[in-house]
A and B are shown apart, each in its own frame.
Chain A
Amino acid sequence: DAGVIQSPRHEVTEMGQEVTLRCKPISGHDYLFWYRQTMMRGLELLIYFNNNVPIDDSGMPEDRFSAKMPNASFSTLKIQPSEPRDSAVYFCASTQGRWGGSYEQYFGPGTRLTVT
């Protein structure tokens, strides 16, 4: 398996523009997570899905952020409108089974977002 795939790897956009980040989890994994990494706050969980259903989105910073998982092999994280404070590295991760137990999370390479 190619692992968790994210695109784009780098995104530079102007304030106010819409940004869409994409993720393809490992085939067969039931859970998909979106994280944001910043210097100030470290690695934060934004939202996670189980079998394509959002389970916990309490980490999503505000209404400008939305995430979808239309099928088992694809998820998007959208920011509209984007702001400079959204600049961060966004990671997607997946795991099989009940992840809180004995299952490791596999991270994608991340998308480095810069909003100017």
Chain B
Amino acid sequence: ILNVEQSPQSLHVQEGDSTNFTCSFPSSNFYALHWYRWETAKSPEALFVMTLNGDEKKKGRISATLNTKEGYSYLYIKGSQPEDSATYLCAFVRPRDDKIIFGKGTRLHILP
């Protein structure tokens, strides 16, 4: 993996169901990974900053895990609600120059 990749690109989930999606990043030389939530017509809002292998962070019904050795992070949403509809971005901080590189995002649609 040379870039930050997110999958799937788009996801439709029934209200009340739980879901998860993936961010993959270069596994050599890790520094930090950020998750952002981005609602349409608004600006990205920080969810988590993860720095240690095995990190697990939680904010309400949303949680994230980090595996730096294999180069992936999962974002989980438990019991999806309509207000969870948004694009979820991950961003990898490249160690050699501190540059932050964003993935293209996973667009989540919650169906009533």
Once the chains bind, are A107 and B44 in contact (CB under 8 Å)? yes
Within 8 A of B (CB), among A51-68: 56, 58-59
Q: Give Cα A33–Cα B36 distance, bound, in whole angstroms.
A: 16
Subset of 24 A-B contacts with CB under 8 Å: A33-B100, A42-B102, A42-B103, A42-B104, A43-B44, A43-B102, A44-B102, A56-B98, A56-B99, A58-B99, A59-B99, A93-B44, A99-B98, A100-B32, A101-B31, A101-B51, A102-B51, A104-B46, A105-B34, A105-B46, A106-B46, A107-B43, A107-B44, A109-B42
Nearest-CB residue, chain B, relative to A44:
B102
Which chain A residue lies CB-closest to B45? Answer: A107
Dominant secondary structure at the A interface: loop
Chain A, residue nearest B101 (CB) = A45
The interface size of chain A toward B, counting residues with CB under 8 Å, comes to 22
Which residues on A are within 8 Å of B, measured CB to CB? Answer: 33, 42-45, 56, 58-59, 91, 93, 99-110
